Amino acid sequence: MSDWSLSDPLPSNEKEVANEGNENQVDDHLNIHQDSDIEGYTPPGTPSKRDMEGKSQPTDSQMEWRMDNLENALERHSDILDNHAEIIRDQTVAILDMKENIDNLNTVIQKLTEQIGKLTSETEQAH
């Protein structure tokens, strides 16, 4: 009989296998970081040493200029979103007006249909 119970999600031997898998993942992760010490290895998302050769860190004025550009871009984007929101509000009002007009037209059509029905029956009775 195994030492597995309902309160235990995995039998003990499966726990060991699962734990071994986790340990392997940790080992793989550590190996990746050890690989970064290898000459010419660049972790994903970072510039290589060759890319950075001859480049210096941006100056404070360059960083300020970049921040100003970013703020301006965000402000323009915000203005565009505000314009889109206003357009959507205007379109919503126009659609609601059209719905009201269509409802009114349907009412007029129903009344005309009723009148045509009455006229038809009166005409038939007259003959």
Ramachandran category for residue 45: left, alpha or beta (phi over 0 → left; psi -120 to 50 → alpha)? left
Structure tokens at 36: 């970064």
Rg, Å, the chain Cα set:
38
Q: How sure is the predictor about 24, in pLDDT bands with cuts at 50, 70 and 90? A: low
Q: How sure is the predictor about 109, in pLDDT bands with cuts at 50, 70 and 90? A: very high
Q: Which pTM value belongs to this model?
A: 0.44
pLDDT tens sequence across 92-101: 999 999 999 9
- Whether 11 contacts 2, CB under 8 Å: yes
Segments in 43-59 forming alpha helices (H): 49-52
